[in-house]
């Protein structure tokens, strides 16, 4: 099963991470990534650029309103993710507990990623996606 570990942090926690030496951060995350690779569970991992560099598309109006991001008020920002191939939610929790570079104000949300097999197989869009996944080596 696939599980996504989603990093969230308060504004204060995000600001405090700016004080961390970049080489120290790369080393800590690199070691953790290496553990995931050696365990054979890493499917993808990405961190995100500073939220102030993003935009938000708000669908509350027609046409949608685009504003510089992240939001009007933030309590937590999404900072990156890991996508892991694991046997259970409990295993995902154990990996999340080992994440480096954590501090007060940082959380990891864990969500299972459903597979295409869990959707109605007689749906034309599911069939098209399945074909695309097969053609691109994802199935």
Residue 46: both structure tokens together: 């990405």
Residue 123: both structure tokens together: 């749906």
What digits encode the pLDDT tens for the residues 59-118?
Answer: 999 999 888 876 656 677 888 999 999 999 999 999 999 998 888 888 999 999 999 999
Contact criterion met (CB below 8 Å) for 69 and 54: yes
Checking if the pLDDT of 8 tops 80, the result is: yes
Domains of the chain (ranges, CATH numbers)? 2-135 (3.30.70.1060)
Tell me whether residue 86 is exposed, middle or buried, using C-beta atoms within 10 angstroms of its C-beta: 0 to 12, 13 to 18, 19 or more: buried
Q: Is 107 helix (H, G, I), strand (E, B) or coil?
A: strand
For residue 60, how far is the Cα from the chain centroid? 25
pTM: 0.83
């Amino acid at each position: 099963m696939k599980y996504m570990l989603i990093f969230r942090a308060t504004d204060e926690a995000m600001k405090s991470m700016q004080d961390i030496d970049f080489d120290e951060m790369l080393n800590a995350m690199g070691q953790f990534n290496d553990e995931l690779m050696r365990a054979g569970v890493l499917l993808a991992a990405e961190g995100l650029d500073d939220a102030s560099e993003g935009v938000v598309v708000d669908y509350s109006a027609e046409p949608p309103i685009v504003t510089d991001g992240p939001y009007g008020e933030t309590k937590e920002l999404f900072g990156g993710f890991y996508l892991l191939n694991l046997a259970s939610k409990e295993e995902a929790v154990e990996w999340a507990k080992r994440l480096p570079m954590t501090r007060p104000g940082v959380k990891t949300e864990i969500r299972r990623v459903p597979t295409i097999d869990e959707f109605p197989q007689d749906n034309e869009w599911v069939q098209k996606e399945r074909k695309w996944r097969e053609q691109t080596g994802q199935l």
